Amino acid sequence: MAITELTAKEVTKKVINKEDLFILDVRNEGDFNDWKIEGDKVQHLNVPYFDLIDGVEGILDKLPEDKEILVVCAKEGSSVFVAEMLDEAGVDAAYLKGGMKSWSEHLEPVKVGDLKDGGEMYQFVRIGKGCLSYMVVSNGEAAIVDATRMTDVYTGFADELGVKITHVFDTHLHADHISGGRIIAEETGAKYWLPPKDAGEVTFEYNALEDANDVKIGNTTINIHPLYSPGHTIGSTSFVIDEKYLLSGDILFIDSIGRPDLAGLAEDWVGDLRETLYNRYRELSDELVVLPAHFMIMDELNDDGTVAAKLGDLFAENHGLNIEDEEEFRKMVTENLPPQPHAYQEIRETNMGKINPDEEKQREMEIGPNRCAVR
Amino acid sequence: MNADKVLDAKGLACPMPIVKTKKEIEKMESGQVIEIHATDKGAKSDLSAWAKSGGHELLQDTEEDGVFKFWIKKA
């Protein structure tokens, strides 16, 4: 027997297809509790590798015989070490190539649907971190929204489709992940757009993303219409694309809503958040398909791996859109907040261009879940 | 801080810093202190979690120029 290697892409397929998977996570307890691979049919056993140095005999009776076993650690080394010991003990085991580091970085492109006149909408699911980004394709041109720092995935995907990236947008200044928008724009000659109200401290040139400043790509019929929707940040902007999709950024998610405190001003912005969710979005068509910039739990994934739902359904089912009392709403989004994302201040400064950490440092800053929502 | 043993684990990736530390500490007497030098960022949280689970005491840790140093007292 030999130990096998599973890539983040292969594990992603298993999670999306709801296949049985037993994960032996050998990171320390704190790291495991903070962030792990999740899925409908994923079971976990957490035993740190340093408790297994003398052998795996003590855990053999806790491992299922009828399920695939995947050993996971932070970077890979310790999972190989443990998988080899399991192999010697006669247990088939695989390890996750690149560990949680590659899990955090994997992007899975999924087609959401067609646009008028042959265009297409793609969602890039960063399954390990819950970040969602988008590529709108029409007639040989592409626009990207909320790109992650894994820029070659987008440029490679555009090359495969044979389209030219002409516009790159960020719906807001991100606090949970490092934006790849500026780099993609520099590499491809595309225009980079940011909401000016979030860009007060940025150190580079950008195009001001403002209401009704429509952008057209490819066929003139594919219309990208920005809609000022503050609340998560003061500049947060949504997009209505092709009169069919609502890219809601970090304002509205499938099962939760945006948090107003990551730029430090929860009390000030809660009113904006309420106005956006309870008035501005109410004026839009219920038929729009909401495409958010994040998901928090695997239940938010549809069977095809997309994260999308009709705006009308969210008005009916999303708790954060159904709090009549303003004071109660204010309390929920200011008092009931999850911990802030790991290194979020440094991530904001990186996205402003104020600091330029190397790739290893960027990777480390992004480790962990995104935590951009309140439920 | 005085150490009875210094272990150089620089340049080693997980799980080796802890595998080596464990091997060394087994040769030591209760109450003796081992000083470990490592460059792997994961070593910090793992060494403290490992020390805790084995009842050893992490006396001090420092970081300087990318080198992490730990002093652990054997239980």
Pairing of strands A215-216, A223-228: antiparallel
Omega within 30 of 0 (cis) for the link into B15: yes
Answer yes or no: do A265 and A347 share one domain: yes
- Contacts of residue A83, defined as CB under 8 A and 6 or more positions apart, other chains included, come to A3, A71, A93, A94, A95
Does the distance separating the beta carbons of A30 and B49 come in below 8 Å?
A: yes
Domain B5-73 class in CATH: alpha beta
Q: Which residue has the higher pLDDT, A265 or A356?
A: A356
CB A55 within 8 A of CB A90: no
pLDDT in tens, A148-177: 999 999 999 999 999 999 999 999 999 999
Handedness of CA A311, A313, A319, A322 (dihedral sign): positive
3-state SS class at A358? coil
Distance (Å, whole) CA A75 – CA A79 = 8
Do A65 and A152 share a domain, yes or no? no
- CATH number of domain containing A162: 3.60.15.10
Query: Tens digit of pLDDT for each residue in A280-294?
Result: 999 999 999 999 999
**Is the CB of A56 inside 8 Å of chain B's CB atoms?**
no
Q: Name the 3-class secondary structure at A18.
A: coil
- CA-CA distance, A203 to A365, in Å (whole number)? 20
One-letter amino acid at A205 equals E
Q: Are A97 and A136 members of one domain?
A: no
State yes or no: ipTM above 0.85: yes
- Chain A contact probe: residue of B14, B16, B23, B53 with most A CBs at under 10 A: B14
Query: Does the pLDDT of residue A235 top 60, yes or no?
Result: yes
> Distance (Å, rounded) from C-alpha A348 to C-alpha A170?
13
Q: Following DSSP, what letter does each residue of A242-278 receive, concatenated?
A: TTTEEEEETTB-SSSEE-S-TTS-HHHHHHHHHHIII
User: How many independent structural domains does chain A possess?
Assistant: 2
Whether the pLDDT of residue B44 is over 90: the answer is no
Going from the C-alpha of A36 to that of each of A33, A48, A49, A368, the distances in angstroms are 7, 14, 16, 8
> A259: pLDDT confidence band, cut at 50, 70 and 90?
confident
Residue A238 and residue A231 in contact, taking contact as beta carbons nearer than 8 Å: no
Give the pair of three-digit tokens for residue A63.
Answer: 């491992």
* Residue that finishes a domain, picked among A102, A118, A135: A102
Same domain, A28 and A119: no
Question: pLDDT tens digits for B46-58?
Answer: 999 999 989 999 9
Say what the pLDDT of residue A92 is.
Answer: 92
Note whether B14 contacts A53, CB cutoff 8 Å: no
Whether B62 has a pLDDT exceeding 90, the answer reads yes
Burial class (CB within 10 angstroms; exposed 0-12, middle 13-18, buried 19+) of A188:
buried
Residues written for chain A: 375
A25, A26, A28, A366: best mutation site toward chain B, by most B Cβ within 10 Å? Answer: A28
Identify each DSSP E strand in chain A by its residue range. 4-6, 21-25, 42-46, 69-72, 94-96, 108-114, 120-126, 131-138, 141-145, 164-169, 191-194, 207-208, 215-216, 223-228, 237-241, 245-249, 257-258, 289-292, 309-310, 373-374
Q: What's the confidence (pLDDT) of residue A284?
A: 95
Same domain? A79 vs A121? no
Show the domain range for A50: 4-102
Sequence-distant (6+) residues with CB within 8 A of A337 are A259, A261, A266, A374
Q: Are A96 and A116 found together in one domain?
A: no
Q: Identify all chain A residues contacting B19, using CB atoms and an 8 Å cutoff.
A: 53
Cα separation, A233 vs A250, whole angstroms: 9
Q: How many residues does chain B have?
A: 75
Q: What is the pLDDT of residues A34-57, one digit of tens each?
A: 899 999 999 999 999 999 999 999
Using a pLDDT cut of 70, give the percent of chain B over it: 100
Q: With residue A118 as reference, give the H or E element that holds it.
A: none
**A260 vs A150: CA distance, rounded Å:** 26
**A272/A346 same-domain check:** yes
Same domain, A77 and A117: no
Banded model confidence at residue B1, pLDDT cuts 50, 70, 90: confident
- Domain map of chain B by residue range? 5-73
Distance CA A37, CA A12 (A): 9
> Given this model, what pLDDT does residue A1 score?
58
pLDDT of A210 higher than 90: no
CB atoms within 10 A of CB A16: 21
Sign, CA dihedral A356-A359-A360-A365, equals positive
Query: pLDDT, tens digit, for every residue of A111-122?
Result: 999 998 789 999
Q: Of A102, A128, A145, which closes a domain?
A: A102
Reduced to 3 states (helix: H, G, I; strand: E, B; else coil), residue A66 is: coil
Final residue of a structural domain among A84, A102, A120: A102
Q: What is the pLDDT of residue A338?
A: 80
- Contact by Cβ (8 Å): B36, B63: no
Q: Do A227 and A283 fall within a single domain? A: yes
| DSSP conformation class of A371 | -
The reply to whether residue A28 touches residue B18, judged by beta carbons under 8 angstroms, is no
Which chain A residues are Cβ-neighbours of B45 within 8 angstroms? Answer: 28, 30-31
Give the pLDDT confidence score for residue A264 in this predicted structure. Answer: 65
Contact A94/A83 with Cβ under 8 angstroms? yes
Mean pLDDT across A267-278: 89
Based on the domain organization, do A196 and A79 belong to the same domain?
Answer: no
Domain containing residue A68: CATH number = 3.40.250.10
Tens digits of per-residue pLDDT, A70-128? 999 999 999 999 999 999 999 999 999 999 999 999 999 999 999 987 899 999 999 99
User: Measured on CA atoms in the order A39, A45, A47, A53, is the torsion positive or negative?
Assistant: negative
Token digits of residue A251: 């304002």
Based on the fold, state whether residues A136 and A95 are members of the same structural domain: no
Q: What is the mean pLDDT of chain A?
A: 92
pLDDT at position B9? 95
- Identified catalytic residue from A8, A70, A73, A347: A73
Select which of B6, B13, B14, B19 is catalytic. B14
* CA–CA distance, A229 with A239 (Å, rounded to integer): 9
pLDDT tens digit sequence for A296-338: 888 899 999 999 999 999 999 999 999 999 999 998 888 878 8
A76 and A123 assigned to the same domain: no
